[in-house]
């Protein structure tokens, strides 16, 4: 018998996720609220260190667990670095497809973006001494696919620092076009609205 995902999440992950724990909880609760049989989750930047819950979060592992223990579906995760992909491959199931490659190119060619329920953007590391490259890259990721996403898609960016961080330009863009702010903590999340 399968263990309930939330039993695993609250015992093995939630207490150790530090500044990400509430927003990961909100992500999974949002997915539950959709009450679907099959989910599609797309992630940029994959898990590179196992059990570094406070530092890296292990989103790939948790998304895979959700699709195995709670709902059905597929997770696509893309990362430019093959060693990161090898770590993720070793710790995920056949419900996770891992791609070595550039995230912007991958999203641009993604075959069924209108089916994505959660788009999780966490690729290029953020550097305080040069914030622009990471923030711009995440904006490129979003804008290459945004028009194709369905209303209700949850878009989340990691490493948010009160208006700075990976999601700075993503947040500015989504605010201007009327996306609904869902949470704003160490991770920032928006829900795409009807046009």
Give the pLDDT confidence of 60-101 residue by residue, as tens digits: 999 999 999 999 999 999 999 999 999 999 999 999 999 999
Residue indicated by tokens 């993604």: 110
Q: pLDDT, tens digit, for every residue of 118-147?
A: 999 999 877 777 888 888 999 999 999 999
User: CATH number, domain at 172?
Assistant: 3.40.50.150
CB 96 within 8 A of CB 88: yes
Calculate the CA dihedral of residues 55, 156, 112, 103 and round it to 10 degrees.
-50
Could you tell me which residues are beta bridge partners of residue 161?
A: 164
User: pTM score, two decimals?
Assistant: 0.94
CB 169 within 8 A of CB 140: no
- Token duo for residue 36: 């679907």
CA–CA dist 189, 186 (Å, integer): 10
Is the pLDDT confidence value at 149 over 90? yes
Helix (H/G/I), strand (E/B), else coil: 164? strand
- Count of domains forming the chain: 1
- Non-local (6+) Cβ contacts of 134 within 8 A are 124, 125, 126, 127, 159, 165, 166
Q: What is the DSSP letter of 139?
A: H
Look up the domain containing 155 and give its range.
5-191
């Amino acid at each position: 018998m399968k263990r309930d995902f939330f039993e695993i999440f609250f015992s093995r992950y939630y207490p150790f996720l530090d500044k990400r724990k509430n927003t990961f909880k909100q992500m999974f609760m949002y997915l539950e609220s959709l009450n679907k049989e099959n989910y599609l989750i797309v992630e940029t930047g994959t898990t590179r260190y196992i059990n570094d819950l406070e530092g890296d979060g292990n989103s790939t592992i948790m998304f895979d667990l959700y699709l195995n223990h709670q709902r059905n579906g597929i997770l696509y995760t893309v990362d430019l670095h093959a060693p990161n992909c090898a770590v993720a491959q070793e710790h995920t199931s056949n419900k996770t497809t891992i791609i070595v490659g550039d995230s912007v190119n991958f999203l641009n060619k993604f075959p069924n973006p209108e089916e994505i329920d959660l788009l999780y953007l966490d690729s290029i590391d953020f550097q305080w001494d040069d914030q622009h490259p990471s923030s711009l890259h995440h904006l490129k990721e979003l804008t290459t696919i945004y028009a194709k996403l369905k209303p209700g898609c949850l878009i989340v960016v990691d490493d948010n620092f009160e208006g700075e961080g990976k999601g700075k330009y993503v947040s500015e863009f989504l605010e201007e076009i009327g996306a609904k702010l869902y949470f704003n903590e160490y991770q920032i999340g928006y829900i795409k609205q009807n046009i």
